[in-house]
Amino acid sequence: MMTIDDPLILRPLIAGLALAVLGAPLGCLLVWRRIAFFGETMAHVALPGIAVALLSGLPPFAGAAAAALLTALLLAMMNRQADTGLDTLLAALAHVGLSAGLIVLAVSDRIRLDPMALLFGDILALSAADVWITAAICAVGGVVLARAWKPLVFLTLHRDLARVSGISDRACDILFLAGLAGYVALAMKLVGVLLVTSLLIIPAAAAQPFARTPEGAAASAAVLAGGSVIGGLLLSFAWDWPSGPAIVAVAGSLFAAARLMAATRR
C-alpha cells in the first residue's frame, strides 16, 4: 500500500495537474464548438500511431501526436466536402483507428505492451522524465494558447465576424488541432486512449453554468479538472482503483453536482 508522500503519487499528481490546467481551455473550446467527439476520435486514432512508433523504434508520444494531428487535418478537409455528416465520420474513424491499433498490437510479437495500459492509462509507468516533459510541454502549450485565445474564442463564436476582422481562421484552426493532438498524446499515459477526452470535456462542461466570461469558464474548468485529478489519484491509491477511471469518476461527480446546483439556482 502506497502512502501520500510516496514519489509514485507525486509524479502522476504533477503531470495530472499540468494536464488539467492546459486541458481546461482546450476543453472549453471543444465544448463551445460542439465537437466533443472530435477529441475522442483523435485519441482513438492515436493508438495505431503508438503501435507504429513502437515498431519503428520511435517515441510513442511522437507516434500518437502525429496520428492524431494527421487525422484531425484529414477530418478538417473531409468536412469541407460535407456530404457525410461530421458525427458519422468521427464515429467511423474512431472505431477504425482503435481496431487498427489493437490489431497491430496483437499480431506484433515485438511489442511487449499491455493494451489495457494504453486504453486506460498506467500511471505507474510514468517516469520522472515523463513528468517533466509533460509539465514543460503543458507550460509552452499554455503560453501559446493564451496568445491565441482571443482569436480562437472569436472564431468559435462567429467565424465570419472573426474573419472580417482580419483573423486567419485556417492558422487558428491548425494551431488548435495541433494543440489538441499534442494534448491527447500527452494525457494518454495518465488516463489512457479511451478516457483522454473526459479530462477535456467533463470539467469544461461542468464549469459552463457558473461562468460569466470565456476566461472564467476556462479557469473554473481548470479548478474542477485539477480537483478531479487530485481526488481520482487519492481514490486510486487508497482503494486501488484504476487511476484513469477514478479521475473520470470524480470529474463525473463534480459535473453532476454542478448541474444539480445550476438547476436548483434557477
Partner 1 sequence: MQPPFPDSALISLRDIRFGLGGQSILEGVDLDVAPGEIVTVVGPNGAGKSTLARIAAGLLKPDGGTVRRRPGLKIGYVPQDFPATPPMPMSVRRFLDLPGSLTQTEAQDALTLLSAAHLADKPIGRLSGGERQRVLLAMALAARPGILILDEPSKGLDPISENDLYARLPLLRDRFGFGVLMISHDLHVVMAATDRVVCLNKHICCEGSPRDVDAIAAFRTLFADPEISHLALYHHRPHLHPHDHDGEDGHDDDD
Q: How many residues belong to the site for partner 1 (CB under 8 A)?
A: 26
Cβ contact 233:9 at 8 Å: yes
Q: Per CB under 8 A, does 214 bind partner 1?
A: yes
Rounded distance, CA 196 to CA 182, Å?
12
Applying CB under 8 A, among 23, 48, 121, 151 the residue interacting with partner 1 is: 151
Give the residue from 186, 112, 107, 183 showing the smallest Cα distance to 145. 183
Q: Per CB under 8 A, does 259 bind partner 1?
A: no
Binding mask 97-136 for partner 1 (x = CB under 8 A): ----------------------------------------
CB of 258 to partner 1, least distance (A): 14
Rounded distance, CA 52 to CA 64, Å?
9
Rounded distance, CA 105 to CA 118, Å?
10
Output the nine-digit C-alpha cell for 252. 463525473
CB of 179 to partner 1, least distance (A): 18
CB of 169 to partner 1, least distance (A): 10
Q: Per CB under 8 A, does 147 bind partner 1?
A: no
Applying CB under 8 A, among 42, 93, 162, 200 the residue interacting with partner 1 is: 162
Stretch that binds partner 1, among 44-52, 156-164, 182-190, 252-260 (CB under 8 A): 156-164
Q: Per CB under 8 A, does 69 bind partner 1?
A: no
Applying CB under 8 A, among 134, 156, 228, 236 the residue interacting with partner 1 is: 156
- With both helix axes pointing from N to C terminus, report the angle between 243-265 and 169-191 in degrees, rounded to the nearest 10: 120
Residue listed under C-alpha cell 495530472 = 16
Output the nine-digit C-alpha cell for 255. 459535473
CB of 247 to partner 1, least distance (A): 25
With residue 181 as reference, give the H or E element that holds it: helix 169-191
Output the nine-digit C-alpha cell for 130. 515523463
Give the residue from 114, 108, 78 showing the smallest Cα distance to 93. 78
User: Footprint of partner 1 on residues 11-30 (CB under 8 A)?
Assistant: 28
Tell me which residues touch partner 1 (CB under 8 A): 28, 31-34, 150-151, 153-154, 156-158, 160-166, 208, 211-214, 216-217
